[in-house]
Structure 1
């Protein structure tokens, strides 16, 4: 399948800005929101193509949900679309976190806790709907259902970013081993453009530490953020402790300020990687403030852009090869299993504290199944959380 640019960067920006304002719940929930917005509602791509993008971005280091957004933006409107998708999806969380960094707002108290709980309940419902819909499409036979269940079980027993990558890789290899009837299409080698982005990724990974030896604090900030973005698997929940090790331990940001921002990052919509902007803004020395925020944010996301640009078009070409199609079919089934595991742990275990929460999540799921707008369901769930907290306080 060749990449088609059927839209405009402005169209992509508007679509992703809505998601950036309403996508609470972390990377797993984001994938559910993306699926609803771009597979079900706008039909920019079909279920299998979306699952292929998720599988690709699970292989790549960095924030998988943001990478899926970048890939969707590029397929829709080329390189401008990729940038528009990233900026629009990330901007709301960056603005909110910088407001916290400037002291304009600090999230706390029972009402804020109630709202956050409501958002987590909504995220649980969104992911449950996505897992069900993807399972119906991507696990139509016994073999693929078995792969999905096995992947989910292994992910629950051995929770680790390395486990996720290994599961997808093993599923893909099992699919590749299946026999293909008749001759198959030859594989297209990477183009010069693909290699250009890949070489750029590797050159920066090797070269920035050498440049940082010069002692320039701006280069040091870029080096630390680029290295984290280039080497971490598992998304925001993994990158936050790494940021703490790289910035709190050496005294580049105060521990109290870091922890306050960590709490805020759990409550704002959009990607958790946006927390890098908060860290860059609150460095004890320059570059800090807005300049530090922009440098940190750009550096931690740059590896994602380079890797998506290096692999996306080649990946689409690989999808047309029948043997590789078998591999992708099982990899997609494994992705369903991984999403199911994430639905159980952490979303279900961290969110549901009793029958009331379970009924609440079920009601949100019913609204989504009846095609009530996901942003509206999110807002209603947050309002329910605030109301519940207020009633508890009065009682």
Structure 2
């Protein structure tokens, strides 16, 4: 590809991904539908089978699946730069909107607002639904349910950065032992313009940062390292979409008093109202804690694991899907993540939100609206905010 063609391709990717970033409401599943319509049906950048294989890979990995699919499409269109440009276009609109919202909110007192309590109950509803869906897919048998229980108990009783990483490593080893005879294979034939050497560097960097950042955090008092570690770990442990990152982020920043529960939930409501990936909620959190620079740092930190993993696994996807030992380890990790999320769901989300019978009743109503009536999340958020305000008078 010559320079002129390369620049033209990158510009095309940027324009299309930005259009999607400005218009893609509805969460990761909806995003995949927008991508399919724009990239596959309209522009024929990939065939149906390759797109299905790419989606399967991104569902297989931790991180924001829809963002990883967008990165993967950019990579296959124009290499690593194409992936970066695709990510920027899809993510930047919501990042800018949430950083601006955070800077405006800093001058307001929202501590005693009824609508904030309503948003807390919305968070209970949305995260419970996400975790139930994950548990059905990732812990279908007794062995994986047991691994999830181990992770739940360990992370609930010992709430440290090292506990999460240790539980993940133990679960990977146990999954390798328990499922090494798993011979279920799938076909895949993705053509990737990335060398295996570069991919290995990315995978090594992913695991290296996951292990080294908590150590650096303990050895230093540098605020930026601590922030980067919290966002990076949260981005590394999320399977199944943006909503399940909520309990991990809340546990990292609210109990440590880096920001208030009220500010956290106000930003969550705003994140529901903007297009693009919900992971950009990190931009809001970073901006509340450290201004616009903090917002950009948080965005880089929470998305970096997704970047490293998609770049590091694409060239090895055929091999990974056919290797029962690797699949077994990942099955163990998936189960442990369910337990970690249930633990974080209880403390602090449930304990800070469901304070009285009326709270539980309202949460049940919102849950039914979301799960059974299939109403979009933004309606649930608005209903929660209004309901929380009205509950102040009851």
Please report how far the alpha carbon of residue 83 of structure 1 lies from its aligned counterpart in structure 2 after TM superposition: 1.7
- Specify which of 350, 371, 384 is matched with residue 381 of structure 1: 384
Structure 1 residues 164 and 312, CA gap change in structure 2 (3 angstroms): same
1:241-260 equivalences in 2 (<5 Å): none
* Corresponding residue to 2:198 among 167, 181, 192: 192
How far apart are residue 364 of structure 1 and its match? 0.9
- Displacement of 1:143: 1.0
The match for 1:313 is 311
Q: Deviations over 1:152-189 (max 9, x none)?
A: 1222222223222221221111122343478x99xx98
Query: Are the counterparts in 2 of residues 239 and 273 from structure 1 also a CA contact under 8 Å?
Result: no
Structure 1 counterpart of 2:295? 297
| 8 Å CA contact retained: 2:155, 2:163 | yes
- Distance, in Å, in 1 between the alignment partners of 2:155 and 2:68 is 25
Question: Does the CA-based 8 Å contact 1:12-1:81 persist in structure 2?
Answer: no
The answer to whether the Cα contact below 8 Å between 1:201 and 1:303 also exists between their aligned partners in 2 is no
Q: How do 1:3-42 residues align onto structure 2 when only pairs under 5 Å count?
A: 8-10=16-18, 12-14=20-22, 18=25, 34=28, 37=30
- In the other structure, the counterpart of 1:94 is 99
Residue in structure 2 matched with residue 209 of structure 1 by the alignment: none
User: Helix, strand or coil for the counterpart of 1:155?
Assistant: helix
Q: Please name the residue that 1:75 is paired with.
A: 72
The alpha carbon displacement at 1:75 in A equals 3.2
Of 287, 291, 294, 1:277 maps to 287
Deviations 1:289-344 (A, max 9, x none): xxxx2x44334444455544333232353542321111111111111112222222
Cα deviation code 1:55-91 (max 9, x no counterpart): xx5xxxxxxxxx6664344135432332234323433
Deviations 1:205-229 (A, max 9, x none): x9xxxxxxxxxxxxxxxx9646741
**Alignment of structure 1 residues 154-165 onto 2, 5 Å:** 154-165=154-165
Provide, for residues 83-124 of structure 1, a one-character-per-residue CA deviation record: whole Å limited to 9, x for no partner: 2343234333211112235x4xx03364xx211111111111
Task: Give the drift of 1:132.
Answer: 1.4
What is the CA–CA distance in structure 2 between the aligned matches of 1:40 and 1:338, rounded to whole Å? 29
The normalised TM-score by structure 1 is 0.63
SS in 2 for 1:372: coil
Q: Distance in 2 between matches of 1:265 and 1:279?
A: 11
What's the counterpart of residue 179 of structure 1? 180
Q: Provide closer, same or farther for how the CA distance between residues 243 and 229 of structure 1 changes in structure 2, counting only shifts above 3 A.
A: farther
Shift of 1:361: 0.8
- SS of the equivalent of 2:375 reads coil
Q: What are the superposed Cα offsets for residues 2-55 of structure 1, whole Å, 9 maximum, x if unpaired? A: xxx9x9413541366x47xxxxxxxxxxxxx64x6557998997997565433x
Asked if residue 141 in structure 1 is aligned to residue 141 in structure 2, the reply is yes
In the alignment, structure 1 segments of 5+ residues that lack a partner are: 20-32, 58-66, 207-222, 245-258, 282-292
Number of positions where the alignment pairs a residue of Structure 1 with one of Structure 2: 308
Q: 1:114 to 1:262 in 2, by over 3 A?
A: closer
Aligned to 1:120: 120
Change (3 A) 1:358 1:118: same
Cα pair distance change 1:334/1:41, threshold 3 Å? farther
| 2:353 counterpart of 1:346 | no
Contact 2:203/2:312, CA 8 A, preserved across alignment:
no
In the alignment, is residue 333 of structure 1 matched against residue 335 of structure 2?
Answer: yes
Residues in 2 aligned to 1:191 and 1:72: alpha-carbon distance in whole angstroms: 22
The aligned counterpart of 1:365 is: 367
CA RMSD of aligned residues (A): 4.2
The DSSP-based 3-state class of the residue aligned with 1:268 is helix
**Would the alpha carbon gap of residues 174 and 109 (structure 1) be closer, same or farther in structure 2, given more than 3 Å must change?**
closer
Note closer, same or farther for the CA distance 1:136–1:301 as it changes in structure 2 (3 Å cut). Answer: closer
- Shift of the 42–337 alpha-carbon distance from structure 1 to 2, 3 Å rule, reads farther
Distance 1:239 1:310, change over 3 A: same
Aligned CA distance change for structure 1 residues 224 and 191 (closer, same or farther; 3 Å): farther
CA distance in 2, matches of 1:241, 1:157: 15
Q: TM-score, normalised by structure 2?
A: 0.64
User: Residues 214-259 of structure 1, C-alpha deviation per residue, up to 9 Å, x if partnerless?
Assistant: xxxxxxxxx9646741576456453579896xxxxxxxxxxxxxx7
Greater shift, 43-52 or 318-327, is seen at 43-52
